[in-house]
Structure 1
Amino acid sequence: MKLKNIMLGVVALLSTLMFSCMDDINDWPVDPSHNRLFRSLVLDVVEALPTAVELKYNQVVDADKYIFEFSEDSLQFTEIVKTVEVLADTLTPFSASTQSTKTEYRTVFEELDGTTAYSVRMYAVDISTGLESGFNELFFETPAEQLFTSYVAYTNRLEMVWAPSDRVTTLILSDPLTEEVLIEKSLSPEEITTGRAVFEGLSPGVEYMAQIYNNEKVRGTLSVQTSGIAGGFVIDVNVGDDLSTVIENAVSQGYSELILSFAGQAPYELGSFTIPNGVTGLSFTGSPDVNGELPHLNLEEVRLSDLNFDDLIFENVEVTGDYGRYFIFIGDDGTELDEIIFRNSRLSDFRSIVRLGNNQIDITNVLFENCQIDNVGGYGVVNIGGSTPTLDTLSFTNSTLTELATQLMDVRNSIGEVHIGNCTFVNLSTSMSQLLRMDTNNLLLSVTTTNNIFAGNNGGASVNSLSFDMGQTGLNVSFGGSYITTDLEINRYDFANITLFQGTTYELFLDPDNRDFTLNPDSGFGGRGVAGDPRWWYSEE
């Protein structure tokens, strides 16, 4: 009996010791460094824009807010340049999950700088306990920003236009080749508010590089050029002046590169005009008024006298012609001409704008840039009447072309390159048979079309992309990246790889009947900001 009592006592003692040890085992102190929230499972970039970044991350259990810290020191975070606090109760899940830690949020962070390497770190906070999570860290780079929206060129100055922002301080104009800074201009409060400033005292026809800064950060870079011909002699043309006379006076003084400068709203009645002998380059250059209106020239026809010519330029002018005439007709054997350029101009009422006869003619480029062309007859905007002339490049960019009869171009020889980019084509009352007409025995060497819009019911008629079956030739013309509306009916030859906009011309544009082709913001158009003439991308309101 005594032994039994001793054994019971030993068992009791061991039990007490065992439970005491168990209490000690489960009562370890908590390491403060681990007493925190779990980190987000993910922190990643959805899209990096010039002045913003969209980040995705996951929900953190018990987090009341998320803190994002940005630096520019490659994940060192020695100097935080931006801190953003995002409250959890303001977030809407981008992708919800039954497992809360897999619920995805997305947040856009704005007012960043372009062309900048950023580091961002994120942590979550429980406000009631003060507990925080560990860091998620990420490195990304923003692309170059383009704050400039346009510019207005004059022979002696450039007016720069940008999206108004209070984060701009300086404009710089430099030589594009040497990068030498020619003008550095501190922006006034008024210039900052209006988003406009002028570089003064420049020379005509010169290319420059313009940049806009916020302190040391570049917010926009744009290649710009003053109007006119480089080194050209400027002639101020008054209403009623005889062009031949004023040009001959300049030639008699030894000038051969001339800039005809037009201003004001009174129309210039210029009729049919032949450029006098002795001129090797000529620019018809207008000065837009404060409202952007262009000088109006009633000019039916322009012809050359000399066989050798450098540049023939029309810029910042509105030209109305004679529907029965070619605006520029070149038909003399031995003619050599560098460039025919139409820039920032409106041209209307011609049989054809550039017509080359089937003669020994050698031209480098015919370029249409930022133009509006309306009511051109059946010969096409450009017409090359045979296989004899040579032309290296024919280009239409950032332009709007309306009511074209028959075709955009009729080309009967092997041009080196044709490019049509960011143009808007609309025919409402006129019927166009095909966009491009060619001679299958002398096909173009290269045709590229990018980001165009084809719209209108084409006067009730169907239209072809080309005048022939592309499949029967070696020429491949793709309209990938361009759009066509549902009311423009295709005839036999389709626009290869084009995207069909599921709507009519009147659903795509705000007021096409009144030549307002601003894209309707409610149209759901996928090419907004990419396709068509950029002047119509966004409303000015």
Structure 2
Amino acid sequence: MMVTDLIFKLFNQLKNTQMKNVNLNIYKALILIVGVLFFVSCSENEGLVQTRLFRPVLSKELSSVDNTIIVNMGKMKEAIAYKVEISRDTFKTIVRTFEGPENNVIFSGLVWNALYQVRATAYAADAQYDSKISDLGEIKTQRFPSIMAIPASSDVIDTGAKVHWTTAGAAVTGVKVFAFADELLQTPLASYTVSDAERLAGEKIIYGLTPGTKYQIAIYSNAEARGWEVYATKPPLVLGSNDIDLRGINDPAILSTTLTTAVDGSTILLDGNNTYNINSTYSFNKSLKIKSGYSFNPAGATLNLVANFNLVANSTVASIVFEGLTLTSTDVAASSKYVFNVAQNGNIGEIAFNNCKINNFRGIARFQASTGTIGKYTINNSIVNNIGGYGVFNIDVATWTAGDVLLKNSTIYRTNVFLASKSTTATKSVSIEDCTLNDFVAKTRAIFAWTNEVTNGITIKNTIMGRGWDTTAGGTDYAIAGYSGLATSNFIVVNSYSTADFKYVTGAKTIPNFPSFTYAKKVEDLWKDIPNGDFSFKDSGFGGLKDSGDPRWRL
């Protein structure tokens, strides 16, 4: 049967009375099919009809060599030419275009270490039959073979940058600063000569930059570029009328004096290159923020606590915040010194440690006498190390009450006690989020040691727990307890890991639903240099490389 005969037969059937029972949409669909068949029938004796070219496809995967991208497409017999385009913003703008008969195309002289998208069109002799655009994927150019170091956070302040490099090969003679958008390094904003001493050290500090601005900074051996990196200066430090700027004053005792004279709500800005001694107990009766100013010292300003902080009796303090500091003591045995050792009645809205390093204390925050409330206790983006028997947080008396306890984006290792409360009043909440913990509670002790309950539960999220801490020289007893007390408290565990040497004491309470996943190897297999506090991942096969543990160590 000819196609035309089939069309008319089908059409006649559609007109039969039985179609009255067919849904209108089905009827319309059948009419459409009839139309298509009719169109085909008109061409059945007229030969083949020319159609649009197929979209180009790759004969090899996209590749890059240095700052060149190579596009190898399959040769199309019907195509007379090709158009290949590259972009860096998914074709909102076109960076480069090639048009010609070649199906293998090379784009050279591109930006180093940059991601490009690639697309192509095949041209027919008659433009109406050109192919549709084919997205061929994306490819990144190689990183320039640089001797320059990738800048760390501490290599940038608001108005300056520390540039450093390896001293191999030709001597570095100059440093140039370019606008961030000047990716091909064509128009320097400033140029600096490298001295013999700087050349020997492989380091130069430059000033005169604008706060809150991105730059391309490059090093040169005479006219030859040896490397460049993007530097983003920090935002300007804005001080209020009651804030106190101690930068540029090299006096270890000046902070102690300033604490007594500062008004409620002040920020005390310290020199990031200096050490400040707290030689006698300071008791808070006002809200203060103690913050390190920008410096090229990665540790920030250092507070050497010879004596601890306390609270003035019957005081109400909204917040006490430490930011960008190193808090330490000479108590390497972690047996006698504290950051806070509170022994007075009072109320504290919040104690917070943001971006701090805390080490060599018997306890960080101990509430050990009288009656009071600590509304919120936060350790965020910090590293805690070598803490003794009163731990990271400790309500060491029945009559103090804790609200929310939050440890976030932090690394905590070598601590005898982790979190504890003897309060007879329930804590509001405890959250451990995005943390790396190892040797973080002494063998046989409980991770969460509570007398009462935690009303809103204990949350463990995106966290890695390694082994317990055997403080005996050469000891290998790492077994610990999950918790004590907390008879009715809820545990919420999300995307959290333990290592193979995380072990519970026989008969101890175990944390419900922890871990989410078990890493099958030991801590030494997972992390690079545990004794020196480097918890970068050693094992590239670990499942939590990108979303678990302290973010500073993630890939």
Instruction: State the TM-score, normalizing by the size of structure 1.
Output: 0.61
1:153-211 residue CA offsets vs partner (Å, 9 max, x unmatched)? 99x959899xxxx99549xxxxxxxxxxxx99664442994332335653148xxxxxx
Matched, 1:353 2:364: yes
Question: Residue 394 of structure 1 contacts residue 418 of structure 1 at CA under 8 Å; is this kept in 2?
Answer: yes
Aligned to 1:331: 343
Question: Residue 37 of structure 1 contacts residue 131 of structure 1 at CA under 8 Å; is this kept in 2?
Answer: no
Q: Please point out which of 196, 211, 216 is paired with 2:231.
A: 196
Deviation at 1:477, TM superposition (A): 0.9
1:434-481 residue CA offsets vs partner (Å, 9 max, x unmatched)? 221112x4334332221111113532231222225x7x52x2213321
Aligned residues: 408
CA distance in 2, matches of 1:425, 1:31: 70
Matched, 1:476 2:490: yes
Q: How does 1:291-302 map to 2 (within 5 A)?
A: 291-299=297-305, 300-302=307-309
Change (3 A) 1:377 1:199: closer
Aligned to 1:532: 549
Letter in 1 for 2:115: E
Change (3 A) 1:414 1:125: farther
Question: Residue 160 of structure 1 contacts residue 196 of structure 1 at CA under 8 Å; is this kept in 2?
Answer: yes
CA distance in 2, matches of 1:79, 1:243: 54
Letter in 2 for 1:233: I
Letter in 1 for 2:327: V
Q: How does 1:182-331 map to 2 (within 5 A)?
A: 187-190=214-217, 193-199=228-234, 201-204=236-239, 231-235=242-246, 238-241=250-253, 243-248=255-260, 250=261, 255-263=263-271, 267-275=275-283, 280-287=286-293, 289-299=295-305, 300-305=307-312, 307-321=315-329, 322=331, 323-331=335-343
Q: How does 1:65-84 map to 2 (within 5 A)?
A: none
CA distance in 2, matches of 1:63, 1:406: 75
Change (3 A) 1:167 1:467: farther
Question: Residue 75 of structure 2 contacts residue 103 of structure 2 at CA under 8 Å; is this kept in 1?
Answer: no
Letter in 1 for 2:301: P
Report percent identity of matched pairs: 22
Change (3 A) 1:89 1:303: same
1:26-78 residue CA offsets vs partner (Å, 9 max, x unmatched)? 973432236x44899xxxxxxxxxxxxxxxxxx9998999988799999xx99
Q: Which runs of 5+ in 1 are unaligned?
A: 1-24, 41-58, 91-109, 114-119, 139-148, 171-182, 206-229
Aligned to 2:196: none
Letter in 2 for 1:202: L
CA distance in 1, matches of 2:390, 2:341: 12
Change (3 A) 1:380 1:188: closer
Question: Residue 271 of structure 2 contacts residue 293 of structure 2 at CA under 8 Å; is this kept in 1?
Answer: yes
Change (3 A) 1:305 1:242: farther
Question: Residue 288 of structure 1 contacts residue 295 of structure 1 at CA under 8 Å; is this kept in 2?
Answer: no
Letter in 1 for 2:406: S
Two-structure CA RMSD over aligned residues (Å): 4.9
1:311-356 residue CA offsets vs partner (Å, 9 max, x unmatched)? 21222222223432432122322x1222211111111122221122
Question: Residue 406 of structure 1 contacts residue 431 of structure 1 at CA under 8 Å; is this kept in 2?
Answer: no
Matched residue SS, 2:493:
coil
Aligned to 2:49: 31
Question: Residue 415 of structure 2 contacts residue 441 of structure 2 at CA under 8 Å; is this kept in 1?
Answer: no
Aligned to 1:510: 528
Letter in 1 for 2:382: C
Question: Residue 151 of structure 1 contacts residue 159 of structure 1 at CA under 8 Å; is this kept in 2?
Answer: no
Letter in 2 for 1:493: K
Aligned to 1:96: none
Question: Residue 389 of structure 2 contacts residue 417 of structure 2 at CA under 8 Å; is this kept in 1?
Answer: yes
Q: Please point out which of 419, 438, 449 is paired with 1:426.
A: 438
Matched residue SS, 1:435:
strand
Q: Please point out which of 405, 419, 439 is paired with 2:416.
A: 405
Aligned to 1:10: none
Question: Residue 346 of structure 1 contacts residue 373 of structure 1 at CA under 8 Å; is this kept in 2?
Answer: yes
Change (3 A) 1:89 1:430: farther
Matched, 1:486 2:500: yes
CA distance in 2, matches of 1:70, 1:525: 35
Deviation at 1:368, TM superposition (A): 0.6
CA distance in 2, matches of 1:403, 1:329: 20
CA distance in 1, matches of 2:528, 2:294: 26
Instruction: State the TM-score, normalizing by the size of structure 2.
Output: 0.60
Deviation at 1:513, TM superposition (A): 2.3
CA distance in 1, matches of 2:78, 2:495: 45
Q: Please point out which of 510, 518, 522 is paired with 1:500.
A: 518
CA distance in 2, matches of 1:382, 1:329: 11
* More divergent stretch after superposition (525-534 vs 413-422): 413-422
CA distance in 2, matches of 1:169, 1:135: 33
